[in-house]
Structure 1
């Protein structure tokens, strides 16, 4: 005779206490990474078989069966790689269910992790139905997956792929190679390499933990925990910059070659940027993603004002909102920078110059400084802070604010870096013209001099004193980051007519190659941007040169530092000093570099700023797949509010030499200080 099981029987079994025990145990793990295991299949049978026989029919419940089969095998992985059941603990379970719980836990701990558990549902299970209570637990709201671009299932599939890719990377690069990479990165010999120290340390520690694992199951668990907790991009070792560094190390390149190849790959003009236009499909996909994320207004950018900057290292006592005359002040129009390098005369007094690092300056001088002026002697250092036009739109950047930045000379003075890395002379020239582009195409820089000499790859040294000191992508010398450089040392240039042009000698790209030309005449910098097909040529600059005078350039397709409203080779008052926005606040995005910005009085970029509203490598990860479209968008969209910009100035990176001259006044004392580097 079958006995009917009643709600009273359930209470006698202490089922309510059993249900509460499950919920309390899960709550203690629910904010941690959770994982699925192979034990889920057949786990409900284990539960039933270990209950008292007379109660099994009652607990053959569809809702509880679904709960145990879907969620019963969930585990957390501790730092030692050991699995811990997040639902079952016989020590906290009523005696009636303890045998079942112990058996299920044993089955789970003998299984293997099969993937991460991610849910878009807050309540797991069915709390009640038909007048009966059932097993269920609840996720904290912060742990519920909520992404408008993909489902929880797609996210779990991606984590499983991350696990596979991470294993492949660890097998490809032994710990000895990682140690060598870490040593190079920490030595600061790799260009912008400090941003990869973190991932190198992470890979090394993961290697060590896996090597110390007792068995393959623990080793896999350690790897799964790494996948769950890794910063974005860390699992994809082979396809990242750390992977290209490790490839060179494993391939046996010498240190000099590794350093040079790393610098080429880290070129800010091409790093993580598409070199081709977006397809129609890419544009349509981008439209869908932008619509789903609701970020159409987030893409609109405007120039920032100094009043909006939330965090300063130092701020002047008074912030002047209106531009002042360029000639105001004792140092308003200092001439050559060579004079400033030796000494500066103030009211008949010669001020000595002290050399120190910025770190020391920040600790010892800045706290008591009443006013600071900087010598603006390098146009490539000019920078501007940019922010979102719509303050209510979602943030699209990797850090917790809407501010970004750009440099006049590129994101990090790219032309200077290329010229000097190839052995050319970038500074201290009377006239210099440099050409850069981004593929294997053989572009050539030519100049017709005042005495009608033709300096180019076929005749590199002119009797007029000029010479082509770098010629690339010809005669087997190929690079994806080429540069060419024609220059006249100080005092060597002749007066008269100069004509600089670019010729596409051999197109090796996609049919057309964009390029940039930078002309410097007596410290005044002009830039020209265009593109060429095979066998085409175009004039970049044509002008009459008179010693000591700024040339008038023929044509209009160029820009110069005049757009920044300050005098180059003169001292300008600092309104405030701040770090780059990726370092503001508690959650710092150090992978975007370390920069210090000196915001200058009256400085603003009055050009449209196309292509600089944002850089795709700084955007949030979900936008990476449509970066071609976003690059095309920002390249054709001006930055708004140029006339109102007050958060512009000069910037310096941790990755390069500074050689910054400052005039610091404290009380009645004024002195010159040269900052040679970050620290």
Structure 2
């Protein structure tokens, strides 16, 4: 600071040498720095600079009327911090460390600020607030810590502040619509893990409950608003939009008094990976153009390109097979009898009894001493692949601090299983099964003509040849937006001969075009069919085949794909190369709301479907990409993952949210045992 010029104006008649202005300026900066780690808020405080001048000695007022300091005080003088109990503190004015000459002014401004109302979250893209030096004079100014300086290629600081105001309005509306007792019930359901993928919204439910409790502990409406403003400033992206999120769907059902079964089914439909945060319609041309602009601003065009990961790139392992320890030594033995191969000593392997345990216990008691692990691959929906960025130098688009993501082969097939079982049908344990799913209230019907020429459909659901339509949806007054139909023959009950499955649009209740998917399972082999149903009366053959007991059929269709796209033999044991967590858990700052998964990476396992898996899912992307998720959904659905020929980080995956039913063959200390893992913990 220039000690010769520490005044506001050029009033030569006033001697300010005893005012201690430099100490006053430093006191402001020091007090402001004590709030470096806390969010700041704007208020409706007015008349601050006038109060400052009026509290100074009359003869000194003219000396302190510079426009730079007037601008600083009026623009930033009302900034406050909010405590956990909703009380506000001035971040600039503190009389305790202020030189005596300015104490009265500081008290006057502080009094105005503490009586004011919070109006928003303060955001600035400028590091320095105020103008420290101008025209050779020093002025009031403070500096924001680097982490508080707002930077975005998409929005200005003003736009971000406007969005925070909208978040406050939406969150307040949610607090009114969903009382604490409803939130408490939601939290009980979520923490019981009785709802599918409940961990995804457990955080926002706890956030809402804590906010309700804090607000109820005070009856002062202004303090309650302050508590809400603090929540808005500190909440993760999307937490404030209660009504339009999955927590809103759950709370709506609780408030409406629905049964647990209905709540559970509706929640599972929304939370399934095939639906959650995924657009159900194609993006408009305007959406695509907006997405192009955002991608260009963020410089992430190359970030969207994804390729299969290799085993060597994985750095985080829970267990890794050390092949080198099992290889024979390359050291040559020299001597007269070096050409003689000695008899190998092979201790007898001990077969230990089968054991059932949780993953947590297995990891704690067995995994550390395991020399070799094999997994029995018996469910194709468990097959998974790790994916990474094609361009390792491109900006990361994921929520966590590494470029790796994953997809399960199950995807929409897993959705078929979920819908069949949720509706009371039988998905597993069948000799022949055909399932049909679609979206919307249109009434599509699944039909089958059996080898005995019987017709199984909604009008005749059970045949004499043991076939049964055990789920029929959207007929009559029944309406379900995520319907399924299911025709099946239990094991040992299917007749040999010709089967014809087809779909019929009995009643169109949409736009006249209804995409659908059919899944045929015969003796454990799964085939899928994708189609689009036209208006009422539309018919299309799905699968035609001649069935021979115990054999896989020769399907007469041009629009189906077999489920053997992965080069692993189902119902066989495959060697494990390594075990790892899902990438969202690799870093110190874990993104736990994206799920807890354990991946068993298998030797030689690979997805051979020409890279048709998902390079990313919208729910795993950074929040600034939310507004273009329709376009991103279309992009990842239509853009193959690269380098499928080099994929070596594929295997089977298991989640904390579901039953495992995993069979492992463990070898250690010349003993082999079969262990079945039934669940996470």
Could you say which TM-score interval applies, normalised by the shorter chain?
A: over 0.9
Count of aligned pairs between the two proteins: 650
**Structure 1 match to 2:384:** 383
Cα drift, residue 260 of structure 1: 2.4
**Structure 2 match to 1:336:** none
1-side partners of 2:27 and 2:288: how far apart?
Answer: 52
Counterpart contact for 1:611–1:637, Cα < 8 Å:
no
Q: Give 2:83's match in structure 1, choosing from 72, 78, 82.
A: 78
**Structure 1 match to 2:397:** 396
Cα drift, residue 594 of structure 1: 2.0
Cα drift, residue 4 of structure 1: 6.3
Cα drift, residue 630 of structure 1: 1.3
2-side partners of 1:510 and 1:363: how far apart?
Answer: 55
Q: Give 1:94's match in structure 2, choosing from 89, 96, 99.
A: 99
**Structure 2 match to 1:511:** 512
Taking a change above 3 Å as real, the CA distance of residues 233 and 377 of structure 1, as seen in their structure-2 partners, is same
2-side partners of 1:434 and 1:426: how far apart?
Answer: 9
2-side partners of 1:653 and 1:140: how far apart?
Answer: 40
**Structure 2 match to 1:289:** 294
Q: Give 1:238's match in structure 2, choosing from 239, 243, 267.
A: 243
Counterpart contact for 2:371–2:668, Cα < 8 Å:
yes
1:128-167 pair list within 5 angstroms: 128-167=133-172
Taking a change above 3 Å as real, the CA distance of residues 232 and 571 of structure 1, as seen in their structure-2 partners, is same
1:576-595 pair list within 5 angstroms: 576-595=578-597
1:112-511 pair list within 5 angstroms: 112-213=117-218, 215-318=220-323, 352-410=353-411, 413-511=414-512
The SS at the match of 1:519 is strand
2-side partners of 1:514 and 1:310: how far apart?
Answer: 41
**Structure 1 match to 2:343:** none
Structure 2 segments unaligned to the other structure (5+ residues): 1-8, 326-347
Cα drift, residue 348 of structure 1: 11
Q: Does 1:17 align with 2:23?
A: yes
Taking a change above 3 Å as real, the CA distance of residues 247 and 544 of structure 1, as seen in their structure-2 partners, is same
Taking a change above 3 Å as real, the CA distance of residues 7 and 648 of structure 1, as seen in their structure-2 partners, is farther
Q: Does 1:660 align with 2:662?
A: yes
1-side partners of 2:419 and 2:133: how far apart?
Answer: 69
1-side partners of 2:52 and 2:14: how far apart?
Answer: 21
Counterpart contact for 2:595–2:655, Cα < 8 Å:
yes
Q: Does 1:649 align with 2:651?
A: yes
Structure 1 segments unaligned to the other structure (5+ residues): 321-346
2-side partners of 1:349 and 1:422: how far apart?
Answer: 46
Taking a change above 3 Å as real, the CA distance of residues 257 and 93 of structure 1, as seen in their structure-2 partners, is same
Give the superposed CA RMSD: 2.0
Counterpart contact for 2:575–2:602, Cα < 8 Å:
yes
Counterpart contact for 1:270–1:438, Cα < 8 Å:
no
Cα drift, residue 349 of structure 1: 8.1
Counterpart contact for 2:350–2:672, Cα < 8 Å:
no
Cα drift, residue 569 of structure 1: 0.8
Cα drift, residue 649 of structure 1: 0.9
Cα drift, residue 456 of structure 1: 2.0
Taking a change above 3 Å as real, the CA distance of residues 366 and 457 of structure 1, as seen in their structure-2 partners, is same
The SS at the match of 2:433 is strand
1:200-232: CA deviation from partner (whole Å, max 9, x where unpaired): 221111111111125222211111111111111
1:48-67 pair list within 5 angstroms: 48-67=53-72
**Structure 2 match to 1:332:** none
2-side partners of 1:369 and 1:4: how far apart?
Answer: 83
When normalised by structure 2's length, the TM-score is 0.92
Taking a change above 3 Å as real, the CA distance of residues 513 and 422 of structure 1, as seen in their structure-2 partners, is same
Taking a change above 3 Å as real, the CA distance of residues 440 and 214 of structure 1, as seen in their structure-2 partners, is closer
Taking a change above 3 Å as real, the CA distance of residues 6 and 573 of structure 1, as seen in their structure-2 partners, is farther
Cα drift, residue 302 of structure 1: 0.9
Cα drift, residue 611 of structure 1: 5.8
Stretch moving more, 349-358 or 132-141:
349-358
Cα drift, residue 8 of structure 1: 9.2
1:8-62: CA deviation from partner (whole Å, max 9, x where unpaired): 93443111111111112212213320001111x2110011001111111011110
Counterpart contact for 2:41–2:118, Cα < 8 Å:
yes
2-side partners of 1:605 and 1:319: how far apart?
Answer: 27
When normalised by structure 1's length, the TM-score is 0.92
2-side partners of 1:290 and 1:261: how far apart?
Answer: 34
Cα drift, residue 319 of structure 1: 9.0
